[in-house]
Amino acid sequence: MLVITLLVSISLGSVSIPMDEIIAVLSGNNSSKSSWSTIILHFRLPKAITAMLVGSGLSIAGLLMQTLFKNPLAGPFVLGISSGASLGVAILILGAGIFGGVLTAISFSSWGLAIASSLGAAIVLLAVLITAHKVRNTMSILIIGLMFGTVTSAIISVFTFFSDAEKIQQFVFWGFGSLGNLAWNEVLIFFIIYLIAVLNLFQIIKPLNTFLLGENYSKSLGINIKKSRNIILLITSLLTGVITAFAGPIAFIGLAVPHITKLVFKTSDHKILLPAVAILGAIILLICDIIAQLPTSEFTLPINAVTSLIGAPVVIWLLIRKKKIYV
Amino acid sequence: MSSSVKNSIETKNLHIGYQQKKSVSTIQENISVQLFKGEFVGILGKNGIGKSTLLRTLTGVQDAISGEVFIQGKSIQSYNLKELSSLISLVLTERLPESQLTVYELVALGRQPYTNWIGRLGKKDIDQIKWALEQTETLSLANRYFNELSDGQLQRVLIARALAQDTQIILLDEPTAHLDMHHTIKIFKLLKKLSKETNKTIITTTHEVNLAINSADQLILLTDKEVVAGNKKTLIERNSFDHLFSSEIVNFNEKLEQFIITKES
């Protein structure tokens, strides 16, 4: 399934390339037209890989948030973490125009962008966690997350107000979300950060499962809650941060994919759920990317519009059909 | 574990309560009790008297204001979380978050202190889980989702989870709070039986005073005046039950060995 969607995704675009040629190029042979090889290897393949990393990364982050907050509505977007990452990027892109100097230099490096946006994500997540610890009521936590999201958006508007048109345009386009602007070296950076985050998951499979019983039981099972929570914080910030930096704030995947996965696999065991959301997330974002390509072959829709158009109805449908959603 | 130590839990001059920066609010003072292996212990007292605080202090979740708790003869502070998890297991009143765990998976989580990094269940783990399910008569529920169970079934499953954790001490916080009379008695009988057959120390807070008085080996009474512990006989001799509730509402009847609602005159 992953392979099929990957191939379909690569085959679509303003230049149509036959499937057998794609397979030929991907397996290392030369295509009958050299331009096809270039398109596939330098544009479509990095884009497809980006889509997979984004889809699986956001889905993992969403699952972690839902388990940590014991709330089925939690997710990087809902809790304002994506907005935090946006703020990091906004400070870098827009702030460079206002403050100039060092920021300008950093804003051109993709590492700088990734780190700024991870930091932004981490700060909001930390703030949500601290307040969550104080209020404990899960409904309040979501509202607080939304508030943090609003505040960061407001700060971004203030920045926009003081920036010049060119910078604003750059930022607005970034905000639409895009999977296709990455060169290979950026994909590599993306992949390295993704890998660091995912490798850390192995440490927390057991704690995550005890979180399903609540904090007191976790503690009585010998789990160091603070440490596990910090690792979850680290993974989520890294994933949301790097994804938001390179692909823009992509909505709904982090919320919808874990629920679709739980519905399909009917389990809460993270040993199964984590790899499942990763694969399903990759597939679903590839499908979203295919849909974004379809309407006209000349243009592509902003990926963010597609994920929202698909994600929102899916969540509503899930709620109506199941009447019950699980952490 | 030194088997020479007969008591599982001992407290010495324990003061319990809440500590926030400089303000200290003590709820109960001078608690000195000794609870032994194979004992079924009831903690009794009216609402807000400190039953849950005592329970939390005994598990090490909450720090004592002063005095000490000894587990198997060693101060509770000398154990780390991991070590404590193989000595004490819990059954709590709080609702579990909605999830799609099956009964088997839930009980299997009790094996976490003993499994490897990914939580793989070995033969010993599987045997222990099966034994725990059998003891609590929940083996037939193993493949059901826990959120489909009745309150009585869920309570037995939670006890099974504690049994799977294979600890010398099991602490329960009002395990019969949502249960009818039939299931309440069933849980008490189960706990009593388990304490005898496994030689574990099983401690429960409860509002089922009459049931507890007549089934527990030892009772800890939390009253406005003091905390006393002992078996039914000594507590009756000391008239300790008279201080448990206000006598205008309920009275302890020594002959019947239970509390009777005070008739309005």
**Residues of chain A contacting B100 with CB distance shorter than 8 Å:** 262, 266-268, 326
| Nearest alpha carbon to residue B196 among B217, B176, B180, B175 | B217
Domain membership of residue B27 (yes or no) is: yes
Domains belonging to chain A, first-starting first, are 2-25+52-322 (1.10.3470.10)
- Whether residues B177 and B62 fall in one domain: yes
Q: Bigger pLDDT: B45 or A109?
A: B45
Helix-strand-coil percent breakdown of chain A, rounded to 5? Answer: 80, 0, 20
Band the pLDDT of A252: cuts 50, 70, 90.
confident
Cα–Cα distance for residue pair A209/A186, rounded to 1 Å: 34
Range of the domain at B9: 1-87+169-183+196-265
Record: contact B94-A214, CB cut-off 8 A: yes
Same domain? B233 vs B244: yes
Residue B191 lies in a domain: no
Structural domains counted in chain B: 2
For residue B188, is it within any domain?
no
**What is the C-alpha separation between A145 and A142, in angstroms, rounded?**
5
Pick among A66, A219, A220 to test the B interface (most B CBs inside 10 A) = A220
What local confidence, expressed as pLDDT, does residue A135 receive? 73
When CB atoms are compared, the residue of A214, A224, A271 closest to B118 is: A271
State the best of B57, B104, B107, B109 to mutate against chain A, taking most chain A CBs within 10 Å: B109
Q: Give residue-wise pLDDT tens across range B11-36.
A: 999 999 988 777 888 999 999 999 99
CB contacts of B59 in chain A (<8 Å) are 220
Same domain? B71 vs B98: no
**Together in a domain, B173 and B68:** yes
Same domain, yes or no: B260 and B245 = yes
CB A132 within 8 A of CB A69: yes
Residue from B20, B24, B98, B35 nearest B229 by CA: B35
In this structure, of A45-54, A81-90, B149-158, the range with the lowest mean pLDDT score is A81-90
Token pair recorded at residue B218: 């030892």
Query: Is B121 domain-assigned?
Result: yes
Residue B190 lies in a domain: no
DSSP category for residue A326: -
Chain segment B66-113, per-residue pLDDT in tens: 999 999 999 999 999 999 999 999 999 888 988 999 999 999 999 999
Q: Do B159 and B201 have their domain in common?
A: no
- Which helix (H) or strand (E) element contains residue B202? strand B201-205
Q: Which of A221, A266, A326 sits opposite B98 (nearest CB)?
A: A326
Check residue A43 and report its DSSP letter. Answer: I
Single pTM value for the model? 0.89
Average pLDDT, chain A: 83
Q: How far is B60 from chain A (nearest CA, A)?
A: 9
Domain match, B49 and B153 both: no
Q: Phi then psi for A161, rounded to 5 degrees? A: -60, -35
- Between these two residues, B245 and B216, which has the higher pLDDT value? B216
Q: Do A221 and B86 touch (CB under 8 A)?
A: no
CATH code (residue B211): 3.40.50.300
Q: Does B101 lie in the same domain as B147? A: yes
B99 vs A contacts (CB less than 8 Å): 212, 268, 326-327
Query: B81 and B117 in one domain?
Result: no
User: In terms of domains, do B12 and B106 share one?
Assistant: no
> What's the pLDDT score for residue B1?
44
pLDDT value at B156 more than 90 = yes
- What is the pairing mode between strands B88-91 and B201-205? unpaired
User: At A77, is the pLDDT very low, low, confident or very high (cuts 50, 70, 90)?
Assistant: confident
- In angstroms, rounded to a whole number, what is the distance separating the alpha carbons of residues B46 and B48? 6
Which pair of structure tokens corresponds to residue A194?
């993704």
Residues B66 and B113 placed together within one structural domain of the fold: no
SS3 (DSSP) at A193: helix
Same domain? For B179 and B241 the reply is yes
